[in-house]
Amino acid sequence: MAEVLRVVRQQVAARADVIKMYASTGSDQDVTGFQTFTFDEIKAAADAAHGFGRKLAVHSYGPDGARDAVRAGADSIEHATDMDDQTIAEMARRGTFYVPTIDHNRYYVEHRQEFGYGEDVAAHLNDYIERNLETARRAHKAGVRFAMGSDAVFTGFGQNTRELEWFIKAGMTRAGADRCYHQWRCAAWIGEEPGSCCGRVLCGYCRGGG
């Protein structure tokens, strides 16, 4: 617990606006999703982050880390698949954002030869994509708030908005999917007024100053 708090304070001191916590295994070709932090540890991180006026984003490929992260007060859940109905309902009740990042695994599959992945890895990734999409469908139907994140890697940059196509497959209208990308949703996620921090690329522009 002390180590969790130390790292949160360290990130705040480094001027991070959002703290990210890896509450499960899963990345790249690994889609296991085994929980890596306890509920108490995630809650300690959430409470500390919020105490400093920061947000906590929790990475969880599997449902267990996501369940505890939602209960602990995380501001967003990244990637999570196979979440149960109770967790999804709690996300809707609390206003927890869901950032499913479905498309990045499509990218891994399509570029598997570049990564040296065999057909067995592609099969695991495709299975995860289907479960990820089904979880997104259920979350959308339950009224969970979505935000778009691409988890883009390497040459995936520039394909980021393909994630919105999956949102439409999950049941959103095109306008609804667009709102998950545009600046008002971005601002809502990090607790700022639209236009104050998102959607600007200007020479010399930084948060807190023009």
- Per-residue pLDDT tens over the stretch 187-207: 555 665 555 555 554 555 444
pLDDT, residue 149, reads 85
Query: Is residue 28 pLDDT above 80, yes or no?
Result: yes
Number of domains in the chain: 1
Q: Which of 34-43, 143-152, 183-192 has the largest mean confidence?
A: 34-43
Q: Is residue 118 part of a domain?
A: yes
Confidence of residue 128 (pLDDT cuts 50, 70, 90): very high
pLDDT, residue 210, reads 36
Q: Is residue 202 part of a domain?
A: no
Q: Is residue 204 part of a domain?
A: no
Q: Is residue 135 part of a domain?
A: yes
Higher local confidence (pLDDT), 177 or 198? 177
Q: Apex CA 23: angle with CA 127 and CA 3, to 5°?
A: 160
CB atoms within 10 A of CB 14: 7
Query: Is residue 14 pLDDT above 80, yes or no?
Result: yes
Across residues 56-61, what is the average pLDDT?
96
Across residues 146-171, what is the average pLDDT?
87
Query: Is residue 185 pLDDT above 70, yes or no?
Result: no
Cα gap 75→102, rounded to integer Å: 19
pLDDT, residue 209, reads 42
Confidence of residue 56 (pLDDT cuts 50, 70, 90): very high
Q: Is residue 74 part of a domain?
A: yes
Alpha carbon dihedral 19, 24, 27, 33, in 10-degree steps, equals -150
Q: Is residue 71 part of a domain?
A: yes
CATH for 58: 3.20.20.140
Query: Is residue 62 pLDDT above 90, yes or no?
Result: yes
Q: Is residue 17 part of a domain?
A: yes
pLDDT, residue 85, reads 97
Instruction: Round the average pLDDT of the chain to a whole number and report it.
Output: 88
Check: CB of residue 144 under 8 Å from CB of residue 99. Answer: no
pLDDT, residue 199, reads 53
Task: Name the amino acid, one letter, at 210.
Answer: G
Cα separation values, 141 from 17, 63, 145, 171, Å: 30, 18, 10, 8
| Structure tokens that stand for 112 in this block | 């598997």
Across residues 109-118, what is the average pLDDT?
93
Q: Is residue 72 part of a domain?
A: yes
Query: Is residue 174 pLDDT above 90, yes or no?
Result: no
**pTM beyond 0.95, yes or no:** no
Domain range for 38 is 2-190
The proportion of the chain whose per-residue pLDDT surpasses 70, expressed as a percent, equals 86
